[in-house]
Amino acid sequence: MQNKSLLFEIWDFLKERKAWWLAPVVVALVLGGILITLGQSSVLSPFIYALF
């Protein structure tokens, strides 16, 4: 068994199952997670809060 990262596992799943409609969902979840992480304690917090 190979030790793959989560992103490679998801990519392999999308390729094998031909579930390309899930790609935008995965991208949105990753971007949301990045925004939450940056919004917690960062110099960028005021700019992120201004977006919403």
SS3 sequence of the chain: CCCCCHHHHHHHHHHHHCCHHHHHHHHHHHHHHHHHHHHHCCCCHHHHHHHC
Which tens digits make up the pLDDT trace of 2-48?
Answer: 667 887 888 888 888 887 888 888 889 888 888 888 777 767 777 77
Distance (Å, whole) CA 11 – CA 17: 10
pLDDT score of 1 more than 50 = no
Encode 1-28: b = buried (16+ Cβ within 10 Å), e = exposed: eeeeeeeeebeeeeeeeeeeeeeeeeee
pTM of the model: 0.57
